[in-house]
Structure 1
Amino acid sequence: MRTRKIPLAVALAAGLVLTACGGGGEDDGATTGTLDFYTNKAAWEPDFDELNATSESDADITLNTTGYSDADQYDAFIKQSFRTDKSPGLFTWQTGPSLAELVDEGLVAETTDIWTEAVDEGWVAADMREAYTFDGKQYCVPMNIAYWVMYYNKHVFEEQGLEEPTTWAELDAIAERLTEAGITPYYQTSTLFTFPWFQQLVAGTDPELYNGLATGEVQYTDPRIVAIMETWRDQQEAGWFSDAGSTVDPAVGLKQGDFAMINFGSFFNGSLDGAGMVSGEDYDMFVIPAVNPDLAKTPVAVESGPLCVAENSSQKTLGLAYSEWWMSPEAQTAWSEARGDVAFNPKATVADPMLEELGTTVSGDDYELYDRYYEATPTPILTVALEQFGAFIADPGDPLPYLETIQAEADDYWADQE
C-alpha cells in the first residue's frame, strides 16, 4: 500500500496518458484484494491508511490511496479516466449537480442494493438517501457526514457569563454582549468559505427560499434575499466578524480569542484538537437556532461527500464490496476514531462524546437537515457566488450589485438547462 500527493505537472501528464489509452476496463469480479482509491482530500490520507487494518480484517480489502492536493486537477483527472481503461475502483466526489452529471452520463455504479440493506439494518437514516438518489436509484455511498454548527471558546463564554443560545434573538444578544466587551463574536473569511453565513441566514429564515436558489425557482435578486444580505451587512458594520483577510489558522484564532465563535463543519473538532484545545473543556458547540422563530424545525446544514465506483472500472465489484463494508457499524466506528468526526451510522461508536451527542441531537424530530450551499448550488453559479460573497465580505456595501452578478450567471446556467 502506498500513498502519495500528486503535483500539478504529474497530474496533467497522467491525465494525458490515460486519455490516450481509450476504452473501459472489464470488471475482473474480485471481491477481495487491493483497491485503487483516488481522492481530492490528500490531507486525509493518514486517516484512510489507518482504516486499512480494519478493512483488511473485516473485508479482506486494502486501499491503495492516491491523494490529490489540487481540486481542479483532481476533477479533470477523474473525468478523463472515465474514457480510459484506468477508471477508478473507488473515488471521492461531491453530491448535488456534480454527482448528477456523472449519473446522467452513466459513469458511476449503482448502489441501490447497498442502500436498501443499510437502511433496513438501521445503519443510515432513510432521508440521507435523497442526496444519492436519481430516478429512483442510488449511486455512491456517503464517505462522511458533517453538520455545520457553531463552535465557541468556552473560556470566553464563561468569562462573559454567557450560555449556549436556544433562539436567534439570544444569539444576537450574545454577539452584542461580546462586541460591547471588545471581543469579536464571529469568524469570517473572504476566501473559499465565504458562504456559511449566507447559508445560515437564508435557510434559517425560510428553507424553501434557500432550496429555491438551488433549483433556480428563486432569484438572488429576490427582495427577501436582498433583505437578508442587508442584515448580514449591518452585522458586519457592527463589528461582529473577524478580519476577513487574516491568515491566522481559524482553529488557532478561536484558541487565542481572536473571535469567540466560528460556524464550521463538525470535522473542525480535529483542527481544534490539533491546535491544542480540549473538547468540552476549551471549546464546545451548539446547533445554530433558526432565524425565524416560527419554523417548525431548526434547519441544520449537512455536508456529505460521496465514495463512488466507476461503472466501467476493472475493479467495479471490489469497489462495491468495499462500499458495502463502509456502511457497516464496524467501518464507521473505525472511521470516526481515525478521522475524529461524527459517523453517519447511528450504530457506530463515536470516539468524541461531544460529536456523539451532536449526532443524537440532530437526528431528533426538532431538526431538519438541508444540503450545504457548496453542494446544493450548481458549480458555475457556485463559483461566481463564492467570489461575490468574498467581495461583499471584504467591502460590505449595497448587496444588490453582488447579487445581480450572481443572478446573471444563474440566468445563463438555467437557460442552458431548458
Structure 2
Amino acid sequence: MRTLAALGLTMTLTLAACGDDAAAPAQKKTELSLYNDKGAWSKYFDDMGALSKQQISLSLKPVGYTDSAQYQAFIKASFRTDVKPDLFTWQTGGMLAEIVKQKQVADTTAVWQEAIKAGDLPQDLAPYYTVGGKQYCVPLNVAYWGMFYHKQLFDQHKLKPPATWDELIEAAGKLKKAGVTPFYHTSVLFSFVWFEQLMAGTDPDLYDRLSTGEAKYTDPGVVAVMEKWKQLIDAGYFVNAGDKTDPADLLKNGKTAMVSFGTFFTTSMTTRAMVSGKDYGFFVIPNVNASLPKTSVIFESGPLCALQKSPPESMQYLKWWTTTSAQEKWAASRGDVSANPKVTVKDAALDAITKDAGSGKYRLVNRYFEATPPPILTAALDGFGKFVSDPSTGKEVLETIQKAADEYWSTHQ
C-alpha cells in the first residue's frame, strides 16, 4: 500500500509538473529565421542581424534560396506545415494579394501608420502594400528606375542629363551619329523595361488599367506606344537585344551610353571600380508626354513579411526595420537607396531621387514585373523579347498578350 501511495504521489507530482510546463509562457526568441529568395544578399542580412542584435536583442539567421520557383513553393507549403519562417521575403502586387487572401500574412497596418507619422515611410508607398484596406509586410527594399549614363561619353559629346523627352532623343541622335549606341535593352527577362517606361511616361493611367484588366493591350494608346518603341529600335538607338554581355560591362566599356535600370544597379558599377560623378551618372527619365502633371518614376519594392502565427518578436523586427537607424545601415551595406526618406545616401543623385520620391514630387508607378498578374507577365516577357528582336511583330505580340489577359481576367475579378 505504501508503494502504491508513493507511486500515486509521484504521478501526481509529475502531472503537476507537466501542467506547469504547458502553462508556462513561450521563451522569448533571440534569433529570427529570415527565409528569402535573395541568396546573394546573405552578407547584407548578416550585417543587419549584427545591428539588430545590438539594438533590439534580436539576431537574424538568413536562409537564402536562389531558385525563385522553389522558394515560392516552400513558403506556400509552410502555411500547411510546422516548418514556418519567422520572417520571409515576397513580392507586391498579385502575389502578395494571393497569400493575404489565404489569411496567412500578419497585418502590419499599425506599423505603417506609426512609420508614416514618424516620417520613416512615405504615404505614397502604402497602396502597394495594401490589400482590402489593410497593410501587410513592410518594404524590404525599394528601387527607383532611371537612366545610368557614361559620364565621359556625355562630356566628350557635350551632353547633359536631359530635362525633356525631346532632349533625350536629341542626345540619342547625336550619339548615334558619332558611332555610339545610345541605349541598352535585352530580349530576356528585362524585355519589359522600355514598354513600361514608354507607357508610364505617355499615359500612366492607361498603364495602371492594364494591370487590373480595365484596359486591353490592343487599345489604341498601347498600340501607339509600341509604334514609338519600334521607331526607336528602327533608328538604331539600341544595342543588339540578343547580346548576353552584362549591361554594366557595356556601359563601362562605352559600348552603350545609357542603361535604364533600378538604383540597385549602382552595385554593378561600384564592383567594376566605377565612381559616381566621375565614370557614370544617373538621371530621372523625362515623360514622353510633357503635359503630365508629374514625372512618372518606375519603382519596385520587395516586402519583408511575417506570418499571422509568427512569434511576437517577428513584428518587433518589422517595426525596427523601418526605423532610420536600421535603414541607414541597410542602404550603406548595399550601396543603394532606402524606403525611408530620412536616410541619406552617399551617391548625390540617388539621394536626390530618394528624397524627391518620398516628398511626392514624382508619380510612383509600380514596376511591370510586380504590377502584372503572373500568367499575363509570362506571355508579355516572351512577347516583348520577340518584339525587340523583330520589331515588325508588334501587332502580333500585343494580340498574344491580350489573349493571355482575356483568359486570366475571365476567372479573376
TM norm. shorter chain > 0.5: yes
Q: How does 1:170-249 map to 2 (within 5 A)?
A: 170-249=167-246
Q: CA deviation digits over 1:372-407, x for unaligned, max 9?
A: 111111111111101110111111113110011100
Q: CA deviation digits over 1:279-335, x for unaligned, max 9?
A: 11100110000000110110101100000111234xx31211110100000100000
Q: Which amino acid aligns with 2:59?
A: T
Displacement of 1:159 = 0.5
- Native 8 Å contact 2:124 2:358 kept in 1: no
Matched residues in 2 for 1:123 and 1:56: separation? 21
Matched, 1:325 2:320: yes
State which of 402, 405, 414 in structure 1 corresponds to 2:400: 405
Report runs of 4+ in structure 1 exceeding 6 Å deviation: none
Give aligned pairs, total. Answer: 389
Displacement of 1:354 = 2.9
Matched, 1:268 2:265: yes
Displacement of 1:262 = 0.6
Displacement of 1:87 = 1.8
- Native 8 Å contact 1:29 1:317 kept in 2: no
Matched, 1:108 2:105: yes
Matched, 1:125 2:145: no
Q: How does 1:320-399 map to 2 (within 5 A)?
A: 320-399=315-394
- Native 8 Å contact 1:93 1:307 kept in 2: yes
- Native 8 Å contact 2:34 2:87 kept in 1: yes
Matched, 1:56 2:46: no
Aligned CA RMSD, in angstroms, stands at 1.3
Matched residues in 2 for 1:31 and 1:338: separation? 28
**Which residue is equivalent to 1:135?**
132
**Which residue is equivalent to 1:24?**
none
Displacement of 1:366 = 3.8
State which of 55, 77, 80 in structure 1 corresponds to 2:77: 80
SS class of match (1:302): strand
Matched residues in 1 for 2:153 and 2:117: separation? 45
State which of 156, 166, 171 in structure 2 corresponds to 1:169: 166
Q: Which amino acid aligns with 2:337?
A: V
Q: Which amino acid aligns with 1:124?
A: L
Displacement of 1:348 = 2.2
State which of 289, 292, 296 in structure 1 corresponds to 2:293: 296
Displacement of 1:362 = 3.0
- Native 8 Å contact 1:30 1:318 kept in 2: no
Matched residues in 2 for 1:265 and 1:131: separation? 17
- Native 8 Å contact 2:183 2:237 kept in 1: yes
Specify whether residues 242 and 411 from structure 1 end up closer, same or farther in structure 2 by C-alpha distance, changes over 3 A only: same
**Which residue is equivalent to 1:307?**
304
Matched residues in 1 for 2:216 and 2:222: separation? 8
SS class of match (1:399): helix
Specify whether residues 254 and 108 from structure 1 end up closer, same or farther in structure 2 by C-alpha distance, changes over 3 A only: same
**Which residue is equivalent to 1:15?**
none
Q: Structure 2 length normalisation: TM-score? A: 0.92
Structure (1/2) with the larger helix percentage: 2
Matched residues in 2 for 1:208 and 1:408: separation? 21
**Which residue is equivalent to 1:10?**
none
Q: Structure 1 length normalisation: TM-score? A: 0.91
Matched residues in 2 for 1:233 and 1:275: separation? 32
- Native 8 Å contact 1:32 1:60 kept in 2: no
5+ residue gaps in structure 1? 1-27
Q: CA deviation digits over 1:242-301, x for unaligned, max 9?
A: 111112111111000110001100011111101121011100110000000110110101
Matched residues in 2 for 1:92 and 1:283: separation? 31
**Which residue is equivalent to 1:95?**
92
- Native 8 Å contact 1:167 1:293 kept in 2: yes
Displacement of 1:108 = 0.6
**Which residue is equivalent to 2:16?**
none
Matched residues in 2 for 1:30 and 1:368: separation? 46
Matched residues in 2 for 1:214 and 1:272: separation? 32
Matched residues in 2 for 1:225 and 1:347: separation? 37
Identity %: 49
Matched residues in 2 for 1:232 and 1:195: separation? 11
- Native 8 Å contact 2:283 2:349 kept in 1: no
Q: Which protein has the larger Cα radius of gyration, Structure 1 or Structure 2?
A: 2
- Native 8 Å contact 1:31 1:321 kept in 2: no
- Native 8 Å contact 2:107 2:137 kept in 1: yes
Specify whether residues 182 and 326 from structure 1 end up closer, same or farther in structure 2 by C-alpha distance, changes over 3 A only: same
Matched residues in 2 for 1:362 and 1:118: separation? 16
SS class of match (1:381): helix
